[in-house]
């Protein structure tokens, strides 16, 4: 087991209308139109240069209100427990989350975003541009999730669906 301490410091903070984990969209696909902002701290603002040419970005963040670690969870799309690494549940060994969001514009140190499925005041660890040439993988497999039809995913993806034990967002 690796015993070295790894320390990350936030580069900013994510702001959204999502205050309650139970009412926050489960994935960005269910957050269409949800607006938010990424406020970048002054020492990191120069790193935003040239980002405005991208339509989408990855937000990598600390799940500051995540659940205690579990190695097996029942995700919202499954009726059986799955290994944590085969899900996007928040109860991870290292509470790191990521979302692909729409970059609407940059206003100085603030990125205006849409399709945000992240809780308000979430510490932002990093930003990476979404690049279709590299990030859109054709002919991929999606494991157990391929057994779930789109209608079921849309129904279960809404907060409040009866039967969910562990949700997959912060």
DSSP state of 30: G
Three-class DSSP category at 48: helix
Pick the CATH number of 12-156 from 2.40.30.70, 2.40.128.20, 3.20.20.140, 3.40.50.12780: 2.40.30.70
Point out the residues of the chain with pLDDT beneath 50.
Answer: 160-170
* Structure-token pair, residue 89: 């549940």
pLDDT at 154: 65
DSSP state of 130: -
pLDDT at 140: 66
Contact 138, 66 (CB under 8 A): no
Provide the CB-side half-sphere exposure for 68 (13 A, CA): 0
Q: Cα(116)–Cα(111) distance, rounded to whole angstroms?
A: 12
List pLDDT tens digits, range 50-82: 999 999 999 999 999 878 899 998 877 677 898
List pLDDT tens digits, range 86-96: 888 888 999 99
Q: Cα(133)–Cα(7) distance, rounded to whole angstroms?
A: 31
């Amino acid at each position: 087991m690796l015993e070295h301490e790894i320390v990350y410091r936030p580069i900013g903070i994510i702001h959204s209308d999502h205050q309650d984990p139970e009412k926050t969209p489960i994935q960005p696909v269910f957050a269409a139109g949800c607006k938010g902002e990424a406020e970048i701290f002054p020492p990191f603002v120069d790193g935003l240069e040239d980002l405005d040419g991208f339509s989408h970005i990855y937000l990598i963040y600390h799940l500051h209100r995540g659940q205690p670690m579990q190695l097996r969870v029942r995700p919202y799309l499954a009726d059986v427990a799955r290994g944590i690494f085969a899900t996007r549940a928040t109860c991870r060994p290292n509470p790191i989350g990521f979302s692909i969001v729409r970059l609407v514009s940059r206003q100085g140190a603030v990125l205006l975003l849409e399709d945000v499925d992240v809780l308000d005041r979430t510490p932002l660890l990093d930003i990476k541009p979404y690049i279709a040439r590299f990030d859109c993988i054709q002919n991929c497999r999606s494991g157990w999730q391929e057994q779930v039809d789109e209608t079921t995913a849309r129904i279960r993806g809404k907060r409040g669906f009866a039967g969910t034990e562990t949700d997959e967002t912060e």
